[in-house]
């Protein structure tokens, strides 16, 4: 199962939502491999996030398994669609 690096940004919107950024490249074979990549590429990660979210700052970084990430994204989409009804 693949692992993905996910960044949650600090700014909270009025609906309680936060921006997030998912790295689809690279993907990882384990949590350990992901964590090691983060350690080696810390500056690149922060620069990338500053470009994507210039008015925000990083809250948390997570290495997440593909199936758990899919469940999180599905639940998030469901919550958004229920709010808009």
| Alpha-carbon torsion angle 60, 64, 66, 71, nearest 10 | -70
Closest CA to 21 of 41, 55, 45, 43: 45
Mean pLDDT of 11-20: 88
Q: What is the pLDDT of residue 16?
A: 82
- Over the stretch 29-79, which tens digit does the pLDDT of each residue have? 999 999 999 999 999 999 999 999 999 999 999 999 999 999 999 988 877
Q: What is the pLDDT of residue 84?
A: 56
**Prediction pTM value:** 0.86
What lies within 8 Å, CB to CB, of 7 at 6+ separation is 20, 21, 22, 45, 49, 58, 60, 61
| Alpha-carbon torsion angle 21, 25, 30, 36, nearest 10 | -80
Give the rounded percent of residues in the chain with a pLDDT score beyond 70: 93
Q: Give the residue, 15 or 81, on which the prediction is more confident.
A: 15
């Amino acid at each position: 199962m693949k692992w993905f690096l996910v960044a949650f940004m600090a700014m909270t919107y009025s609906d309680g939502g936060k921006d997030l950024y998912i790295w689809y490249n690279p993907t990882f074979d384990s949590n350990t491999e992901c964590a090691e990549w983060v350690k080696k590429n810390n500056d690149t990660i922060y620069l990338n996030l500053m470009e994507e979210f210039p008015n925000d700052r990083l809250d948390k970084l997570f290495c997440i398994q593909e199936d758990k990430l899919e469940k999180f994204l599905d639940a998030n989409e469901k919550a958004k669609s229920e709010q808009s009804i």
